[in-house]
Amino acid sequence: MTLIKSISGIRGTIGGRTGDTLNPLDIVKFTTAFATFIKGKKIVVGRDGRISGQMVRDVVCGTLVGMGYDVIDIGYATTPTTELAVRWHEADGGIIITASHNPRQWNALKLLNSEGEFLTAADGAEVLHIAEAEDFDYAEVDHLGRVIIDDTCDQRHVDAVLQLQLADVEAIRQRKFRVCADTINSVGGRILPRLFDALGVSFEILNGECTGDFAHNPEPLEKNLGDIMQKMKNGGFDLGIVVDPDVDRLAFICEDGTMFGEEYTLVSVADYVLNEANSSSSNLHSSLNTVSNLSSTRALRDVTEKYGGKYTAAAVGEVNVTTKMKEVGAIIGGEGNGGVIYPESHYGRDALVGITLFLSSLAKKGCTVSELRKTFPDYQIAKNRIDLTPETDVDAILEKVKEMFAADPNASVNDIDGVKIDFPKSWVHLRKSNTEPIIRVYSEALTMHEADELGKRLMQVVYDMQ
């Protein structure tokens, strides 16, 4: 399995030959490059529950100490907890040891700046350049760093979420919700019970032991969630909650065992935030603007415009979304993969924020989860791919697609990330992969059949060009 190096960090599978996978040598080199780039004195390190996490943590922390850094080791921690901890400790940066939704054999290093946010593309490219050059200076013996353990961050995270202006804790407590949560044998099983207890929510946790031995594929998609969906169908719960191993993605399941729709996590939370901000009694930020990436559902645009706000699309990637959110002063944003970014908390996807705002909305509306879902525009997204040969000029193909639809009066073309073509009642987005010779084809329409047909029509256009 090839080690994947990108502006957001490195990731790969554990074990195998040097140079082919994520191994201690690569971890040392990349950690050293990041520390060289940061030019600081203190870095926060947190990790999810993966089997390889302790090994990677030991290498990362040892390397940082060798660079003269003090390491704030917060141990098992969600990605948003680590992001917040960088700010709490006024650190110069952070390293999150997590491969997010990838299977158990994967791990990765994700890099944060002093704001607890992911590096920009330019900064990430500079770290890669430093790593390739391998021109490193380590600390003299009298100037080595030290490791400082902080085990308070989970509770600080929960406390911070409860302090959010729109976290209606009293309304949630009065509803006496009962939830079932699948925390996929990672850090969600440690922090979500704290959140539920603080909110007065009774709960049952599936796969709650933080072993890293994932009970199923950890990506929170319907095909992987048979156990919790059946649990919900059996009755007794108001809401099903699913997080990924580092707890920045969030999916809901209705009380009848049907999927709420991962795309609609952000839509539902945004609807609540926009409604509250639009009310005369609110003293929230006056902006009603929202942002999501180009491959996310159009429903967010519809909901935003309902309240008189402006929706803006960003290139795919969390840092692109947060950058655009700052540009337009968005009150909320995120990604259709269940990632909620709420600036009052921080500029990062945070499932704890999403859960609390969703429960606040549900409590104040006094409805069931399935009833809430019916209040939103209903779109369906189809996901396809075009396999290409390594020598294919993908950029040239996408440019031809753009030119083909530029003159179409019924189409609007956006080329900030691949090519997205908006039609009155549908859209299709073609985007090249950064790691393999394929074009990802996402399409959305009012029915899955229409969405799939639109995607396949564009796929045929590409095939005809070759």
Question: Which residues does the annotation mark as catalytic?
Answer: 100
Q: What is the DSSP string of 334-387?
A: EETTTEEE-TTT-SSB-HHHHHHHHHHHHHHHT--HHHHHTTS---EEEEEEEE
Distance, in Å, from the CA atom of 43 to the CA atom of 152, rounded to the nearest integer, reads 16
Distance, in Å, from the CA atom of 394 to the CA atom of 435, rounded to the nearest integer, reads 13
What six digits make up the tokens of 352? 């704890």
Distance, in Å, from the CA atom of 163 to the CA atom of 440, rounded to the nearest integer, reads 40
Q: Are 38 and 93 in contact (CB under 8 A)?
A: yes
Burial class (CB in 10 A: 0-12, 13-18, 19+), 146: exposed
Q: Which residues contact 322 (CB under 8 A, 6 or more apart)?
A: 117, 118, 333, 341, 347, 348
Distance, in Å, from the CA atom of 275 to the CA atom of 316, rounded to the nearest integer, reads 26
Q: Between the CA of residue 114 and those of 6, 64, 121, what are the distances in Å? A: 20, 16, 16
Distance, in Å, from the CA atom of 435 to the CA atom of 124, rounded to the nearest integer, reads 16
What pairs with residue 75 in β-bridges? 46
Distance, in Å, from the CA atom of 364 to the CA atom of 371, rounded to the nearest integer, reads 13
Q: Between the CA of residue 246 and those of 89, 107, 218, what are the distances in Å? A: 20, 11, 10
Distance, in Å, from the CA atom of 267 to the CA atom of 109, rounded to the nearest integer, reads 30
Distance, in Å, from the CA atom of 439 to the CA atom of 433, rounded to the nearest integer, reads 6
Distance, in Å, from the CA atom of 187 to the CA atom of 209, rounded to the nearest integer, reads 9
Q: What is the DSSP string of 24-69?
A: HHHHHHHHHHHHHHH--SEEEEEE-S-TTHHHHHHHHHHHHHHTT-
Q: What is the DSSP pairing of strand 419-423 with strand 412-414?
A: antiparallel
Amino acid identity for residue 81 in this structure: T
Q: Which residues contact 268 (CB under 8 A, 6 or more apart)?
A: 252, 260, 358, 361, 372, 373, 376
